[in-house]
Amino acid sequence: MKPRRILSHISDFAFIGLFVYLLVFPQYAAEPTRRALEFCAKTLIPSLFIYTVLARAVISTSLMQRLSAKVGIVPITLILGTLCGCPIGAKISASLYESRQADKGLAEYLCSFSNNASTSFVLGFVGNELFGDPLVGVRLLVYQLIASITTAAIMKRILFGKKAIPKICASLTKKATLSETLADGAATMINIASSALFFIVVSDAISSAVKMPDAVFAIFKSALEFSSGCAEAARLDHLALPVTAFALGHCGAAVAIQVKSVLSGKLSTKPYFVGKAISCAIMTLLAVIFG
């Protein structure tokens, strides 16, 4: 039996088991759902929504349009991925491939390093809300940029070898009205909040059955959904920053599902996963070394 089919069967049984477990013990679904809704309403959405809307407005300006056409496809994709967050990199990659502006190899390469936590999330939510220190957010954002640039260089070597990256001239943005920007920001927040809600409930339900040390639980939670994983990591003592960097580096299963959905089977997700593994390792290492 192929590994993919084995994983599919394991996933099916896991969902069935979780469904039965929560039917038998509904209290492990109700209380985590209330906490998750409170987390989204009081912390996640207030710290992200306005910045998400403003980021969308910034990238649709005439200046950004000219910049995206002149600077080059790789740096502008990295900039947009850092400003707007996941899964903008996957959206850009899929859009370029579907419009035939980029071939499969280039589109998958762009996706491998450009799906990051947004600038507003790292600075506003992680730095200000969780750690109460803007400098922590700045430090993590710098680590993320270093990790993304390094990942881009490593993935270029893996996918293209010594060959040059194909050059294309593409404008990735278009002028958007305020209503379009607000609608896009609202849709993004619904996506983020629903993913956080689902995976917070799942992780809490599993932790109610399997007791874990705090650090292990934070890592486990971040593996499912990184925003709630960051919130758990921030409660740790000396491991708070490395575990938070780990969560930001890989972005969790929730983002992976979003990326897979955007790519729609037309592009492989393997470069994305390899890139995320590299980025996660670099971010965690930087946090361990420099704090």
Domain extent listing, the chain: 35-165+179-290
**Residue ranges for the chain with pLDDT beneath 50:** none
pLDDT single digits (tens) 145-173: 999 999 999 999 998 887 877 666 555 55
Output the pLDDT for position 155.
95
Angle of helix 88-98 versus helix 73-84 axis, rounded to 10: 140
Q: Which residues contact 179 (CB under 8 A, 6 or more apart)?
A: none
Output the pLDDT for position 148.
96
Output the pLDDT for position 168.
65
Q: Which residues contact 34 (CB under 8 A, 6 or more apart)?
A: none
Output the pLDDT for position 267.
92
Q: Which long-range contacts (CB under 8 A, 24 or more apart) does 27-30 make?
A: 28/204, 28/205, 28/208, 28/209, 29/201, 29/205
pLDDT single digits (tens) 32-43: 888 888 878 877
| DSSP conformation class of 61 | S
């070394």: which residue's tokens? 289
Beta-carbon-side half-sphere exposure of residue 284 (alpha carbons within 13 Å): 15
Omega prior to 87 cis, within 30 of 0:
yes
* 231: amino acid identity, one letter: A
What's the whole-model pTM score? Answer: 0.82
> Under a CB-based contact definition with an 8 Å cutoff, are residues 123 and 137 in contact?
yes
- Per DSSP, the residues of 160-174 read HTTSPPPP-------
